[in-house]
Amino acid sequence: MNKDELKKYTVSIKTTIYEALNLVDQNSRQMAILVDQDQCIIGVITDGDIRRAILKGIPLDSPIINVVNRNPLIGGKNEPKKALISRMQDRSVSFIPLVNDENKFEDIVFLSDLLNISRKNNSIIIMAGGKGTRLGELTKNCPKPMLKIGSKPILETIITHLSLFGFHDFHISVNYLKEQIMDYFEDGEKMGVKISYLHEKKPLGTAGALANFEPQNSEPVVVMNGDIYTDMDFSALIDIHKSNNAAATVCLRKYDCQIPYGVVRTNNRQITTIEEKPVLSYFVNAGIYTFDSMILKMIPKNTYYPMTKFLDKLLKNGNPVYSHEIEGIWIDIGRHDDFKNASQIATMGI
C-alpha cells in the first residue's frame, strides 16, 4: 500500500472510539492499526473490538487505546511471503501489519491477498451439536469439535481451511456444551470470518438443524460434520455441484475392507474360484455435502431428521443428487485411533 492508502487504516492515540468506528466502517477491511507519533505500532483494532466495547458501555468519546489489542501479530517488511502466510494461518488471523528495520509501521498484508483468494458468498453450515460418545472420557467435559488436533480445536482447523478458499459466512449448529464453542469463536471476527449459531434445543439428527437455517442468497450451501479433518478443495466441490446443476452433492470416500478368510465362489456346488483374503472397496458417505439453498426447506422444523432420510427423500422425489470423491486427506474423528491419527498429521503440518 502507498502512504495515502495506509492512512485509511491508521489511527492515533488521540483517536476516539467513535472516530475509529467511522474509519473501520469506511475501509474495506474493517480494521485499523494504532500507531504512536513515531509511527511505531501500539496495537490493532477491529470492528469486533469496537462492538464489544460499545456493548460493555464504554463511552464512544473514550480513547481507542482503551480497547485496542496490544499484542498483535507483526511481521517484517522483508519477511518472506511463505513465512507470513504460515504465521497468519497458525494464529488464525486474516491480516498482519508490517514494520521496517526501525520497527516503524510501513504496510499491511492480508491473507486473502497473499493467497489470491476471491471471497465466496456461499454459506457454510457445520454440524457441531453431537456428544461424541464414542470418544468416551475425551468428550465428557468437552464437545468433540473442540478437541485439539495439533495446537487447534478440530472446529478451528475446519474454519481456517475453508477460509483459505474464500468462504467467510459460517453457521455452526450447537447443542452439547455449546457455551465452549460460542465462547471460543464468538462472532468469528478474530479469524476474519462471520460466525452465527443454529441452536438445537434437543438433538435433531444429522440434518434436522438445517431447518433452522435461513439462506442469505441463492448460492449453494456447504454442510459438513464438525469432526472431519480434511485437506479437500472446497472450491472444486462448489464448481462440480454447479456444473451438474445438482440439488445435492454428496462427498464420498473409498473405503477398503479386507475379508480375513479365503473367499470361495461356487456354481452348483462346484468351486469356481478361491481368493485369499480379498480386499473389497466401497464408497462411504464422507459427511460433507453441497445443497441448493432452497432445497433445505424440505426439512421439517423441530424434528429429529437423519441426513440419510433427507437424501433418500430427494432421490425419491427425483431431485438430481450427485457424488464427489475425496482423494486427499479425510479423517472422520469418531474413534480414539482416528483422533490420534488426525493429531499426528496435524502436528506434522500436513
Among 90, 113, 136, the domain-final residue is 113
Nearest in space to 60 (alpha carbons), one of 111, 18, 93, 24: 18
Q: What string of DSSP letters covers 178-191? A: HHHHHHHHTTSGGG
Tell me whether residue 22 is exposed, middle or buried, using C-beta atoms within 10 angstroms of its C-beta: 0 to 12, 13 to 18, 19 or more: exposed
Domain assignment present for 65: yes
Same domain (yes/no): 41, 176: no
* Active-site residue list: 277
Same domain (yes/no): 300, 200: yes
Q: Which residues of 94-123 are buried (b: 16+ CB within 10 A; e: fewer)?
A: bbbbbbeeeeebbbbbbbbeeeebeebebb
Tell me whether residue 215 is exposed, middle or buried, using C-beta atoms within 10 angstroms of its C-beta: 0 to 12, 13 to 18, 19 or more: middle
Same domain (yes/no): 37, 81: yes
Same domain (yes/no): 164, 305: yes
Same domain (yes/no): 158, 143: yes
The model's confidence at residue 178, banded by pLDDT at 50, 70 and 90, is: very high
Tell me whether residue 193 is exposed, middle or buried, using C-beta atoms within 10 angstroms of its C-beta: 0 to 12, 13 to 18, 19 or more: buried
Residue type, 290: T
Residue 335 grid coordinates = 474413534
Alpha helices in 138-264 (DSSP H): 154-163, 178-185, 205-208, 234-243
Domain assignment present for 252: no
Same domain (yes/no): 97, 150: no
The model's confidence at residue 349, banded by pLDDT at 50, 70 and 90, is: low
Domain assignment present for 262: no
Domain assignment present for 296: yes
Same domain (yes/no): 90, 196: no
pLDDT of residue 318: 97
Position 116 pLDDT exceeds 80: no
CATH, residue 86 = 3.10.580.10
Write the pLDDT tens digit of every residue in 303-319: 999 999 999 999 999 99
What CA–CA distance (Å, rounded) separates 284 from 256? 10
What is the Cα 314 distance to its own chain's centre?
27
- In this structure, the strands spanning 221-225 and 31-35 are unpaired
Same domain (yes/no): 139, 38: no
Among 57, 92, 113, the domain-final residue is 113
In the block, which residue shows the cell 431431485? 319
Same domain (yes/no): 20, 69: yes
The number of CA neighbours under 13 Å toward the Cβ of 193 is 29
Domain assignment present for 274: no
Residue type, 116: N
Q: Where are the beta strands (DSSP E) in the chain?
A: 10-11, 31-35, 41-46, 75-76, 95-99, 105-110, 120-127, 148-149, 152-153, 167-174, 194-199, 221-225, 228-230, 248-258, 262-267, 270-276, 279-291, 321-325, 330-332
Among 105-119, 252-266, 312-326, the minimum mean pLDDT is found in 105-119
Residues contacting 204, CB < 8 A, separation 6+: 129, 211, 302, 303, 304, 305
Q: How far is CA 324 from CA 64, 233, 321, in A?
A: 49, 11, 10
Position 350 pLDDT exceeds 70: no
- In this structure, the strands spanning 31-35 and 228-230 are unpaired
Write the pLDDT tens digit of every residue in 16-67: 999 999 998 888 788 999 999 999 999 999 888 888 888 788 999 999 999 9
pLDDT of residue 301: 93
What CA–CA distance (Å, rounded) separates 306 from 251? 16
What CA–CA distance (Å, rounded) separates 260 from 267? 22
The CB density around residue 272, as the number of other CB atoms within 10 Å, is 9
In the block, which residue shows the cell 469496537? 50
pLDDT of residue 55: 77
Contact by Cβ (8 Å): 3, 104:
no
Task: Kindly report the length of the chain.
Answer: 350
How many domains does the structure of the chain reveal? 2
- Structural domain containing residue 338: 120-242+290-312+324-347
Same domain (yes/no): 71, 154: no
Among 113, 142, 174, the domain-final residue is 113
Same domain (yes/no): 135, 107: no
Domain assignment present for 69: yes
Among 49-63, 162-176, 268-282, the minimum mean pLDDT is found in 49-63
The arithmetic mean of pLDDT across residues 185-200, rounded, is 92
The arithmetic mean of pLDDT across residues 185-205, rounded, is 92
Same domain (yes/no): 154, 57: no
Domain assignment present for 275: no
Domain assignment present for 57: yes
